[in-house]
Structure 1
Amino acid sequence: MLDLIKVFHQVVESGSFSQAAQALNMAPSSVARNIDNLEALIQTTLFKRSTRQLILTEEGQYFHLQSAKLVQDADKLLSEMKGTNPEPEGVLRISVFESFGNIYLAPLIPEFLERYPNVQIEIELDNKVVDLNSENIDLAIRIGTPQDSRLKARKLLTNYTSLVASPDYIHTHPRIGKPEDLQQHNCLLISHERQRNHWYFSRGKVEKKVSVTGNLISKGGSPLLSAALQGSGVLLLSDWMVTPYIANKQLIEILPDWAATHGAQGSGEIFAIYKGTQYPKPHIRAFLDFLIEQFSLLSVVK
């Protein structure tokens, strides 16, 4: 029965019989027959099947959740009995938001692959929120903790932000002496899918919420950074994006005495998010440990 359950979990992870068959090195018909046998054994329909998609039934969702620990414990026990730590291998599918993926993650991947040559990485640079439980993604890197209680998260770093503009913009526009002055300026905005955008400021015990507007809105930070460097407006963006340009004076900090954030509780933290299994697969666990190791070396504190 355990082998049938493992096939079932691979189908759920892959999203289809054909993709599960590739992962298991089986024929799709054999995968389908295994699922039929499991359903007959437990007298429960696990999937709603159609030509377009494969969806877990309510009973299937429950069975998947309850059987996960059984599979994990079995794998762990076998590994312990063999007295070996399995070498990380297999395909690792990663989703990461575009700017962070380009700037920080992409340069790290060659070192990881050199350490673990049996791992193959597929990376998606995408600012949309992915559903790890329905999409074929092993690990996502996002700002903020997941709302889905079935997922786990490991913090990589705090997302500190700075308010900046180019020297040209500062010299050709009215002075910004207090947060409220930003209402008279063109602000380059991260899209939060809201009708109005606000930036939040704090200095000591003083807190301010300022409504800001601008002619450029983007889900990713790269277009906004390019526009700011060309003098298009005022930008509130992550330090890991703007610090090099502050250092070479292409951008200048505005209101440095104020802490500026995108939210009332700060600009969030960056997490690696993965499915909530007690024992992640070796290649996922290795990549998580590698990320923690690498980002612990970064100095991101202002």
Structure 2
Amino acid sequence: MLEQIKVFHQVVDSGSFSQAAKVLHMAPSSIARNIDSLEAQLKTTLFKRSTRQLVLTEEGDYFYKQSGKLVEDTDVLLAEMRGAQDTPQGMLRISVFESFGNLCLAPIIPEFLQMYPDIKIELDLDNKLVDLYSENVDLAIRIGVPQDSGLKARKLLNHPTLLTASPTYLNHRPPITLPSDLHEHNCLLISQERQRNHWFFAKGKAQQKISVKGNFISKGGSPLLTAALKDCGVLLLSEWMVKSYIESGQLVEVLPGWTVNHWEEGSGEIFAIYKAAQYPKPHVRAFLDFLIKKLS
């Protein structure tokens, strides 16, 4: 019955029998039989089935919430019983936003694979938010704490942003001494999927919201960084992306006395996110520990 309950949880998390079947590597018909059997044992209907959507009944919602701890406690118990015999192995699927994946993860993954030769990594560099359940992702790296209470998060590092431009660009354009001076400059912009872009400045108690515009917009930071290095405009990016170029003199920090962010509430922190309903598998735990140690 426990396996049927796990199948039931995956169906709820995935939103459909077919998605759950993909995650569990089972045929959709097997998923349906597991749910039918569980409903027969419980003598209740768990789902309102229709051709358009799958919705929990009142009893199904109650059973999902109450059985969640049972599933998690079982996974924890099995992990404890296996103890040191649990060698990290298997496929580890990681989703990470493009710039961080290229600059921070890609260089250290070979070292991790040398430490754990029985682990395989599938790395997805994508700036969209993925559903860890329906897309069968073990670990996602994102900016900010997840809103989904069904996920856990471990902080990896802070995420300050810096305003920079190349010396050549700055030498051929009006000086930037105040945030409002950016109105006269070409700003390289992260796509925010909104009509107008703003950068938010703070200095002591002073706060300013500056409307910015430019001729290059990208969902990822790497193309914008390349453009800034080729003297195309003013760039607002993560410190870990631009720090080495500032040190080499290829970029110069602009308005260093101000704190500046893409969002009014700040740029937040970077977290590793994983499923809360399950005790982290050995290969997930191993990568989390390795990542935190390397990034610290």
Q: Same fold, TM exceeding 0.5?
A: yes
What is the distance in 1 between the residues matched to 2:68 and 2:255? Answer: 51
In structure 2, the residue matched to 1:236 is: 236
* TM-score normalised by structure 2 residue count: 0.87
Partner of 1:299: none
Distance 1:279 1:73 in 2: 8
- Check whether the contact 1:94–1:123 (CA below 8 A) recurs between aligned residues: yes
In structure 2, the residue matched to 1:142 is 142
C-alpha separation in 2, matches of 1:82 and 1:280? 13
Corresponding position of 2:218: 218
Q: Which residue of 1 aligns with 2:279?
A: 279
CA contact (8 A) 1:186 1:213 kept: yes
- 8 Å contact kept, 1:21–1:28: no
1:287-298 alignment, distance < 5 Å: 287-296=287-296
Q: Which residue number in structure 2 is paired with residue 70 of structure 1?
A: 70
Q: What are the superposed Cα offsets for residues 4-35 of structure 1, whole Å, 9 maximum, x if unpaired?
A: 2234445567764643553xxx6665554333
Matched ranges for 1:32-51 at <5 A: 32-42=32-42, 43-46=44-47, 48=49
Contact 1:188 1:217 in 2 (8 A): yes
Rounded Cα–Cα distance in structure 2 between residues aligned with 1:265 and 1:189: 18
Instruction: Give 1:165 deviation, angstroms.
Output: 0.7
- Percent identity for Structure 1 against Structure 2: 63
Report the Cα distance in structure 2 between the residues aligned to 1:148 and 1:80, rounded to whole angstroms: 27
Deviation at 1:68, TM superposition (A): 2.7
- The AA in structure 1 aligned to 2:291 is L
SS in structure 2 of the partner of residue 145 of structure 1? coil
Contact 1:87–1:282 under 8 Å retained in 2? yes
1:19 equivalent to 2:18? Answer no
Distance 2:265 2:24 in 1: 46
Q: Label 1:176 to 1:294 Cα distance change in 2 as closer, same or farther (>3 A).
A: same
Shift of 1:36: 2.5
Q: Which residue of 1 aligns with 2:56?
A: 57
Question: Residue 89 of structure 1 contacts residue 116 of structure 1 at CA under 8 Å; is this kept in 2?
Answer: yes
Separation in 2, partners of 1:132, 1:227: 33
Q: Is the 8 A contact 1:11 1:20 kept in 2?
A: no
Unaligned 5+ segments in structure 1 are: 297-302
CA RMSD after TM alignment: 2.6
> Bigger shift: 73-82 or 98-107?
73-82
1:256 lines up with 2:256 in the alignment? yes
C-alpha contact 1:91 1:121 (8 A) present in aligned 2? yes
Match of 2:168 in 1: 168
Find the residue that maps to 2:106 and give its secondary structure.
helix
Q: Is the 8 A contact 1:185 1:233 kept in 2?
A: yes
The within-5 A match list for 1:123-202 is 123-202=123-202
Structure 1 residues 284, 13: closer, same or farther in 2, change over 3 A?
farther
Comparing 152-161 with 134-143, greater Cα deviation is found at 134-143
Assess, with a 3 A threshold, how the Cα gap between structure 1 residues 13 and 256 changes in structure 2: closer, same or farther.
same
